[in-house]
Amino acid sequence: MPRLNSLPFFKNSCGILRNPKAVMYKLTDKEKKLLQRVSSSYYMEPILGELAKKSGLRRNGLRYALASCNKMAAQRWKKAFDHLHEVLVNSQGKVELLLEERQRKGEIKSKDQARKSIAGNAFANLLIYTFLRNKECENIPPHIFINNRVSEVKGFQNLAVIQVGDETQKPDVDVVVYTVKDDGVVDKSIILSLKTSLRERVGQTYKWKLLLEIATTDNPIKDKYGIKYALGNPPLVCFATVNFYEEIDQPQHRGMFKFFDGAFIAKPIERDFIKPLSALVDFVSERLS
C-alpha cells in the first residue's frame, strides 16, 4: 500500500489539502441523526431522487447514500446548492401523487394545507441535507455545524435577543450555522432566514438585523429607544430564497438585501445583491474560521 504522503493531493474549497480518494469526513452522531431527520419525511423521497441527478447520491436499499467524495464528487455537491430550486420544482409532480394517496387513505384532510407545510420545510430540509453532504466531502470544515432546531444549539438563545426598552426582539431563525467553544456553547454563528418567496415575512429578519446594527454601534438612536445587545458574539444575519415567483429583480425587494450580511438564491444566477447558494460554502468557511 502506498504511503499517504506519496499520493496526489488537491485543495478543497476550504483550502485544506486532501487526497482525491481519501476517506471522507465522518459525521458525528448528532449530525447523523440530523441527516436522518431532515431526509425521513415522506415528501423527501422524491425530492432526494431529483437531488441524486445533481449530486453523488446513489440508492442503498430504501435510502440514499454517498457514492464517493473524490474531487469530482466534492465539486458536484457544492454546485448542487445552485440547483435546489430545480430539484424542488421537478419533484412537485411526485410529491403531489403522494399527497393524493395520503388524502385517499385519510392521513391528511387538505392537500392545500399539506402543500403549504411542505413548501417551507422541504427547502430547509434540502438545504441542511446538502450542507451535511458537502461537509462529508470536506467542502465545509469539521468545526462548523448546522441545525434548524435552535433549542439544540447550546447558548444560542442568549445571542438572539435584543432589548428594546422593556421589550425583547428576536429574529426569524430557520437555520443556524455555528461553531462551538470547548464547553459546547455556541461561539460564532450565522442566522439563515429561508424563504420560498419574497412575499413571506422577510421584513421581520432584516428589521432585526437593523436593530442589531443600532445596538452594536455608537449612535444616538440606541440611547433614545433603549436598544441594547450585550451578550457574546453577535450572529451574522443571512437570507436564502428559492424565489419561486421570480421576485428578486423587483426594485422593492433589491434594496432589502443590503441589510443582510449575505444573501443567497438556490439557482445558478448571480446579481450584485445576491449570490448563488453554492457561495454559502465559502461564506461559512471564511466567516466562521
Do 126 and 88 lie in one domain? The reply is: yes
Task: Give the whole-angstrom CA distance, residue 283 versus residue 209.
Answer: 18
Element (H, E) at 223: helix 220-225
Task: Pick 231 or 28 by higher pLDDT.
Answer: 28
Q: Do both 90 and 210 map to the same domain? A: no
By residue range, what is the domain housing residue 111?
Answer: 8-136
Residues 109 and 177 in one domain: no
Lowest mean pLDDT among 13-27, 98-112, 229-243: 13-27
Q: For the segment 79-132, what is each residue's pLDDT rounded down to a tens digit?
A: 999 999 999 999 999 999 999 999 999 999 999 989 988 987 999 999 999 999
Q: Is residue 2 part of a domain?
A: no
Structural domain includes residue 3: no
pTM surpassing 0.85? Answer: yes
In a domain, 182, yes or no: yes
209 and 102 housed in the same domain:
no
Q: Are residues 78 and 166 in the same domain?
A: no
Element (H, E) at 238: strand 236-241
In this prediction, residue 54 carries a pLDDT of 79
Has residue 1 been placed in a domain? no
214 and 278 belong to one structural domain: yes
CB 195 within 8 A of CB 245: no
pLDDT digits (tens, 9 = 90+) for 162-171: 999 999 999 9
Question: What single letter denotes the amino acid at residue 65?
Answer: A
Other beta carbons within 10 Å of 150: 16
- Is 258 found in the same domain as 191? yes
For the chain, the domain total comes to 2
Residue 156 within any structural domain of the chain: yes
Q: Lowest-confidence range among 111-125, 237-251, 273-287?
A: 237-251
